[in-house]
């Protein structure tokens, strides 16, 4: 929508021919964005060759679980000159390996991971298609690539910043979904505003700890892809992660919640991924750990909160200082 609105010839790929035909005939995406008329310049196709062949830029935004499959399908039609952007917020979980989306795409396209641009930030699709003012980041180690992506997307209602820290932007986009699940759970259980503010703040602390351990610049977590996306996902009723958390609070089982949602809830797989990453990198992620117990080991949310509140005493400033001293990218 944003690209077509910028008068760029834009093709949307769907694996379903019926869905692509319906989009072209009605100019609406009835299941995912009901009631919204899409820009005239936007075409849909179920042919991946037609969608990406000869394209100046390709934006991958399949759910993380489908990214490798989709990138593999597209690979034969993409050249080394094509600008590759992705906006997916999750990790690949394959047996014991956990990979960021840039790694997965780079492997499938046989490209250098550092050339891939990550587009992220507080950007609920429902508001973007309605042209509500939205701000995002295009992140890439190669400044020229981040700026090429910025040029394509920037518009009067869609402001794009650049950031060289693709790892930080990618990791914060994925991990904030865990905290949003927790915020939905907390709201559903009527734990109150203090609890939610604490979840956001301490959630950001553990996202930053994990991110810097993976090579991110800690300053990224104060930006749009960090605190910006964390705030919107923990507070907006558009958020599928927040909604899934609030349904869990009603006592629904995980499978039932996923069925009710009918859309991707990245935070669930990401909780599993982050639980493993925390052990691999030896990083403390207490909220993620408790959420893991709630989601996958039937721990009651009340006991999980008791465990979080009863942790050993901590000096807040010393702990933040530890995060900022290590692993700077710039
Ligand atoms: N919706 C948002 O507001 C938003 C904003 C920013 C980023 N994201 C991220 O974008 C990614 C996708 O989210 P979404 O909102 O589009 O999810 P969604 O559930 O609304 O839609 C997912 C789409 O992917 C398709 N799909 C699923 N498996 C597929 C496969 N194997 N091959 C091809 N297509 C497949 C589905 O048919 C569906 O059309 C997620 O990582 C999400 O975090 C979403
Ligand atoms: O609906 P969610 O929870 O997947 O969040 C969507 C976007 O990441 C918000 O920026």
Segment 39-64, tens digit of pLDDT? 999 999 999 999 999 999 999 999 99
Where, residue-wise, is CATH 3.40.50.720 in the chain?
Answer: 2-164
Name the residue with the closest Cα to ligand 1, atom 13: 63
**Bridge partners of residue 163, in order along the sequence:** 139
As a whole number of angstroms, the distance between CA 62 and CA 240 comes to 15
Catalytic residue positions?
176
Cβ of 184 closer than 6 Å to ligand 2, yes or no, is no
Residue 152 Cβ < 6 Å to ligand 2: no
At residue 330, the pLDDT reads 40
* Closest atom, ligand 1, to C-alpha of 66: 31
- What is the Å distance from ligand 2's center to 218 Cα? 22
Q: What is the pLDDT of residues 126-169, one digit of tens each?
A: 999 999 999 999 999 999 999 999 999 999 999 999 999 999 99
Query: Is the CB of residue 122 below 6 angstroms from any atom belonging to ligand 2?
Result: yes
Mutation probe of ligand 1 site: the residue of 13, 15, 62, 239 with most atoms within 8 A of C-beta: 62
- Ligand with an atom nearest the CA of residue 127: 1
Residues 139 and 118: their CA atoms lie apart, in Å, by: 5
Diameter of the chain measured on Cα atoms: 60
Among 24, 79, 23, residue whose Cα is nearest residue 55: 79
- Residue among 178, 181, 128, 173 nearest 155 (CA): 128
Rounded to whole angstroms, the Cα distance separating 243 from 321 reads 34
Structure tokens at 29: 């995406």
- How many angstroms separate the alpha carbon of residue 250 from the centre of ligand 2? 21
Integer CA distances (angstroms), 70 to 21, 67, 205, in order: 20, 5, 33
> In this predicted model, what pLDDT tens digit does every residue of 193-231 receive, in sequence order?
999 999 999 999 999 999 999 999 999 999 999 999 999
- The yes-or-no verdict on residue 327 having pLDDT over 70 is no
Determine the pLDDT at residue 94.
Answer: 83
The minimum-distance atom of ligand 1 relative to the CA of 64 is: 41
Asked if 246 and 199 touch (Cβ cutoff 8 Å), the reply is no
- Strand order of the β-sheet with 134-139 is 57-60, 83-86, 117-120, 134-139, 158-163
Q: Which atom of ligand 2 is least distant from the CA of 124? A: 9
**Which ligand lies nearest to the CA atom of residue 60 in the structure?**
1
Q: Which residues contact 135 (CB under 8 A, 6 or more apart)?
A: 121, 122, 158, 159, 160, 161, 224, 228
For residue 27, say whether it is annotated as part of any ligand binding site: no
220 phi and psi, to 5 degrees? -60, -30
ipTM for the complex? 0.98
Q: Structurally, what CATH architecture does the domain formed by 167-325 represent?
A: Orthogonal Bundle (1.10)
Q: Which ligand is nearest to the CA of 20?
A: 1
pLDDT digits (tens, 9 = 90+) for 231-253: 999 999 999 999 999 999 999 99
Q: Which two tokens stand for residue 9?
A: 């010839």
Fold classified for 2-164: Rossmann fold (3.40.50)
Average pLDDT, the chain: 95
Concatenating the DSSP letter of every residue in 49-79 gives HHHHTT-SEEEE-S-GGGHHHHHHHHGGG--
Say which residues have a Cβ less than 8 Å from residue 166's Cβ, sequence separation at least 6.
Answer: 102, 114, 116, 117, 118, 139, 140, 141
H/E stretch holding 322 reads helix 316-325
Residue nearest to atom 7 of ligand 2 (CA): 124
């Amino acid at each position: 929508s944003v690209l077509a609105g910028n008068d760029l010839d834009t093709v949307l790929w769907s694996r379903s021919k019926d869905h692509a035909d319906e989009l072209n005939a009605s100019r609406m995406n009835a299941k995912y964005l009901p009631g919204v008329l899409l820009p005239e310049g936007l075409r849909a196709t179920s042919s991946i060759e037609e969608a990406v062949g000869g394209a100046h830029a390709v934006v991958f935004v399949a759910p993380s679980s489908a990214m490798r499959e989709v990138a593999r399908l597209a690979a034969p039609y993409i050249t080394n000159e094509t600008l590759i952007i992705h906006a997916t917020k999750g990790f690949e979980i394959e047996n014991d390996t956990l990979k960021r989306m840039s790694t997965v795409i780079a492997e499938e396209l046989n490209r250098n991971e550092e050339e891939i641009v990550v587009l992220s930030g507080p950007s609920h699709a429902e508001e973007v298609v309605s042209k509500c003012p939205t701000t995002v980041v295009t992140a890439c180690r190669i400044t020229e690539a981040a700026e090429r992506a910025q040029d394509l997307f920037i518009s009067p209602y869609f402001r794009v910043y650049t950031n060289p820290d693709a790892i930080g932007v990618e990791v914060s986009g994925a991990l904030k979904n865990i905290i949003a699940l927790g915020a939905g759970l907390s709201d559903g259980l009527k734990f109150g505003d203090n609890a939610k503010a604490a979840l956001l703040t301490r959630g950001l602390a553990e996202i930053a700890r994990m991110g810097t351990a993976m090579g991110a610049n800690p300053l990224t977590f104060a930006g749009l892809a960090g605190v910006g996306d964390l705030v919107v996902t923990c507070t907006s009723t558009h958020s599928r992660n927040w909604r899934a958390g609030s349904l869990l609070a009603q006592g629904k089982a995980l499978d039932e919640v996923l069925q009710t949602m009918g859309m991707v809830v990245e935070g669930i797989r990401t909780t599993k991924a982050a639980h493993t990453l925390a052990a691999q990198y030896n990083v403390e992620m207490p909220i993620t750990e408790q959420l893991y117990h709630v989601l996958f080991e039937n721990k009651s949310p009340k006991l999980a909160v008791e465990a979080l509140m009863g942790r050993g005493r901590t000096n807040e400033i010393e702990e933040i200082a530890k995060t900022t001293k290590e692993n700077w990218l710039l």
